[in-house]
Amino acid sequence: MPQKSYGLILEAIQDARDFVLGASKMPFIPYQEDGDWTDYLPRYEPQAENYETSGCTVWGAQNQIETFMKGVYGFEPNYSERFTYLLTPVTPRGTNPKKVYDCIRRDGLIDHELMPVSDTLAEFLDRDDLTGSLLAKGQNWLRTHELQYEWLWISKPENWRETLRKALVSCPIGVSVSAWERDENGLYVSDRGSVNNHWCLLYKVDDDGVMHVFDTYDHSRKKLHPDHHIRRAIRIWLNRKTTKSLKRHKSVLQTIIDRLMNKRSLLDVCEEYLGRDASPNDAAPDELGCADTVTTLMRKVYPSVPHMVSTVELSKWLSDPKNGYARVNDPEPEDIIVSPTSGTKVGHTGIFLDDDVIASNDSGLYHRPNKGKFLKNYSMTTWTRRYRDRLGLPVYVFRRIIK
């Protein structure tokens, strides 16, 4: 019996070097340390209520984005599937999820009420409804939102379940599945040779390996057998830019002037070293090399900054007014954050690359190959949760006031 198609077409992963976990410069921030996004699932919206759209990649991708927005930013948007469907575009057979995520990065999103699902398939497919006004609203969304994505693997690894579980601390995951056959326990099953024909949202993995997905059929949350064959998985990060951060972005002209004068900012240096070991001499071990990394990067722009390997030493140095730094409460890019070690409680330090994105030396906790690399791995919330609330350490943010 042939398998029903829900609209998923899988193709070879392109640009693997830039778009696979551990290879890209995409932030990995542990927003949900238990990896459970159940409380942030979006409202159920069927992809085939009155007719089949073969649009699982669109519905699944938007469910993933809406869940992320609710869990990280505290509000639940409801975006128009039809808008993204027509702009991708999705064919009668469906499409590759990569094309959907690329469409959102190119054309943005608009509210569902501006372009809702229509009563008939003919109306749903009518591209004349894509007005200039709606396209402009999509571009306006891109002014205040930045979507990034990456595949979790090229070839499925032996430890793929653990890869999924660890990735879930950073975001809900889009996954390809084989739909839908249940065993005697009600778990949805597939074998290694089965064809993945559906795309949906993975929001939780139990300790016993049972995987929870949010589907676009049957008003249902489904449980997948631990051995369910998931061929592809996508992780996302979405930056919701604030008015404050937009005002602080350098003008194109100023950026050109700085480059012509060979002036590099701390942000420039940080971007250059993302994904690399910024302190390869290992004055401190990789898992304890945060101050080594931060001061090494600072010295590339401000040579008078001493090289330090201790968060206690760095905190004291930054606190001394004669060194040109001051404590602030409202972080900006290039600010230094430090929670100094106290006794057996090991602290940490990093550099703000955006209002709420911190890069630091990575311990490899969630992805071992990242150990010792300089990565975007904290927000202010996750930093405070770990170092202030859990370890009882102070959290200081310092800004350079002498340019």
Name the band, by pLDDT with cuts 50, 70 and 90, for residue 334.
very high
Angle, to 10 degrees, between the axis of helix 132-144 and the axis of helix 97-107?
Answer: 90
Q: Which of 317, 334, 315, 331 is nearest to 403 (CA)?
A: 334
Sign of CA dihedral 234, 109, 223, 217: negative
Please say whether the beta carbons of 377 and 29 come within 8 A. Answer: yes
DSSP state of 95: B
CA distance 315 to 14: 44
Sign of CA dihedral 14, 17, 20, 25: negative
- The neighbouring-strand residues paired with 174 are 201, 234
- Residue 29: both structure tokens together: 């921030």
Q: What is the dihedral of CA 163, 33, 358, 24, to 10 degrees?
A: 10
Q: What CATH number does domain 242-400 carry, 3.30.420.40, 3.40.50.300, 3.90.1720.10, 3.40.50.1820?
A: 3.90.1720.10
Q: What is the pTM of this model?
A: 0.85
CA distance 254 to 133: 32
Predicted confidence (pLDDT) per residue in 196-209, tens digit: 999 999 999 999 99
Per-residue pLDDT for 258 more than 70? no
Going across the sheet that includes 374-378, the strands are 325-327, 396-400, 336-339, 348-354, 357-361, 374-378
Q: Is 33 exposed, middle or buried (0-12, 13-18, 19+ CB in 10 A)?
A: middle
Q: Do the domains at 38-239 and 242-400 have one common CATH topology?
A: no
Per-residue pLDDT for 315 more than 60? yes
What would be the CATH architecture of the domain defined by 38-239?
Alpha-Beta Complex (3.90)
The residue-averaged pLDDT of 297-310 equals 94
Predicted confidence (pLDDT) per residue in 29-66, tens digit: 999 999 999 999 999 998 988 899 999 999 999 999 99
Give the helix, strand, coil percentages of the chain, each rounded to 5. Answer: 35, 20, 50
Per-residue pLDDT for 21 more than 70? no
Poorest-pLDDT segment among 94-103, 233-242, 280-289, 364-373: 280-289
How high is the pLDDT of residue 1? Answer: 38
Please say whether the beta carbons of 23 and 110 come within 8 A. Answer: no
Please say whether the beta carbons of 298 and 292 come within 8 A. Answer: no
Name the band, by pLDDT with cuts 50, 70 and 90, for residue 250.
very low
Per-residue pLDDT for 86 more than 90? yes
Q: Indicate the domain borders of the chain.
A: 38-239, 242-400
Q: Which of 187, 214, 209 is nearest to 198 (CA)?
A: 214
Q: Which helix (H) or strand (E) holds 352?
A: strand 348-354
Predicted confidence (pLDDT) per residue in 127-177, tens digit: 999 999 999 999 999 999 999 999 999 888 999 999 999 999 999 999 999
Angle, to 10 degrees, between the axis of helix 311-319 and the axis of helix 290-301?
Answer: 40
